[in-house]
Structure 1
Amino acid sequence: MHAQIVLFDGFDPLDAVAPFEVLSAGGTASPGAVTVELVSAEGPREVVSGTGGLALRATAALDPGRAGLVLVPGAAGRIGEPGETPDHDAGDEPGQPDDSIPVLLGRTLATELPVLLKAAMDNPEVTVSAVCGGSLVLAMAGLLEGRHATTHHLGLDLLDATGVHAVPARVVDDGDLVTGAGVTSGLDLSLYLLEREVGPRIAHAVEELFAYERRGTVWRNVGPEPARF
């Protein structure tokens, strides 16, 4: 499995680095069954995150035709005021020095990323995944309507408003779409993907290495529907 982790301006570092480390360790434990790289829509470049100016280098352009995994992180910045919309840059207003997360996520729509992500989702050999606000990037691009997905709990209403079946779970498996909730869920998401795609023994070995146990039940749209409590 080759994993492409997408970077965009304002990305959340932990959303990207946690899966990168887990999947890289999975490649070491396999050995070689998993490879991983950082990519961007624009190709090789330094990409500045939304946390303290930290930058990571994308070494290639996102290739939606390459079989494997494409993972989209969320953004880091201000949470955003109630009702603040992605196309309204509050950072330009007096007293609002930092860009909000909705603004940073919304700016991805003006790049080539939505086109590349649509091509990835149309490729039957690609599993698309997202951590935290990465689900909102996909949803705002119109790529998740009717699908089951999750995101940070503060973004579930927005996710639902785009026509997604928003699920308040830590990891949601919707077949070729696998999403994680809050920032640290990137660990759980990537460990689950290792288990699903490479095997539980590899995932368990990485859990032991990182001294971390996955949290929560992975939600899948199977089995009887629960009654209301």
Structure 2
Amino acid sequence: MHTQIVLFDGFDPLDVIAPFEVFHAGGSASGGRVSVELVSAEGPREVVSGSGGLALRAAAALDPTRPGLVLVPGAAGRIGDEHQDEHIPTLLARTLTTELPALLAEALRDPRVTVCGVCGGSLIPAMAGLLEGRHATTHHLGLDMLDATGVSAVRARVVDDGDLVTGGGVTSGLDLALYMLEREVGPRVAHAVEDLFEHERRGTVWRDRGLSPAAF
């Protein structure tokens, strides 16, 4: 299983680094059956995050036809002042002027690819009109925005909608990545990585299956 983690200007470093470490460790635990790389819509370049100028280097261009996972992180910046350039919704909206939405649309059309979003990362394809009618989650502050795009927003730590898997707040990147290891490679590898990082996943992975719960 290969994972492409997408960098864009203003990305949240924890949304990137936490899944990267999980998948990298998964590669060691699975004898090389899991791999991960940092990519961008523009190709190889240094990409500056929204956290104190921290930068990471994208090693390649996002390939939406490569089988495996495409993981989109959220943005890091200000929450309150919508007129600031580093306002999180502004940073996310800027990605819509790049090639990223078209690349994500192509990835979502490919049955060999699963698109993942961590925190605000699910809002990028949603704002591009790519997730209408799908189930997804995001940071709790963005659930209304997700709903407004025609998505069935679910308040859960991780939501599995088949070829679309999304995580809630920032640290959910750990839980999402461990879940994808379990789903795609197996629970023994996922457990080994979970044990290595001394992290226990939180919450039930929400899927559109089973009985609908009655109102409490």
TM-score, structure 1 as length reference: 0.93
SS in 2 for 1:133: helix
The one-letter code matched in structure 1 to 2:55 is: A
Q: Which residue is 1:59 aligned to?
A: 59
Shift of 1:220: 0.3
Q: Deviations over 1:99-144 (max 9, x none)?
A: 1000000000000000000000000100000100001011001111
**What RMSD, in angstroms, separates the aligned Cα atoms of the two structures?**
0.7
Q: How does 1:21-36 map to 2 (within 5 A)?
A: 21-36=21-36
Shift of 1:80: 3.5
1:127 aligns with 2:109: no
Q: Which residue is 1:227 aligned to?
A: 214
Determine the C-alpha separation between the residues in 2 that align with 1:184 and 1:30.
24
Q: Which sections of structure 1, spanning at least 5 residues, go unmatched? A: 85-89, 92-97
Percent identical pairs in the alignment equals: 78
Q: 1:117 aligns with which of 97, 104, 115?
A: 104
1:69 aligns with 2:56: no
Q: How does 1:32-181 map to 2 (within 5 A)?
A: 32-81=32-81, 84=82, 90-91=83-84, 99-181=86-168
SS in 2 for 1:172: strand
How many residues in Structure 1 have an aligned counterpart in Structure 2? Answer: 216
SS in 1 for 2:124: helix
Q: Deviations over 1:52-106 (max 9, x none)?
A: 000000000000010000000000001144xx5xxxxx12xxxxxx510000000
Determine the C-alpha separation between the residues in 1 that align with 2:125 and 2:167.
13
1:191 aligns with 2:175: no
SS in 2 for 1:179: strand
TM-score, structure 2 as length reference: 0.99
Q: Which sections of structure 2, spanning at least 5 residues, go unmatched? A: none
Determine the C-alpha separation between the residues in 1 that align with 2:80 and 2:87.
5
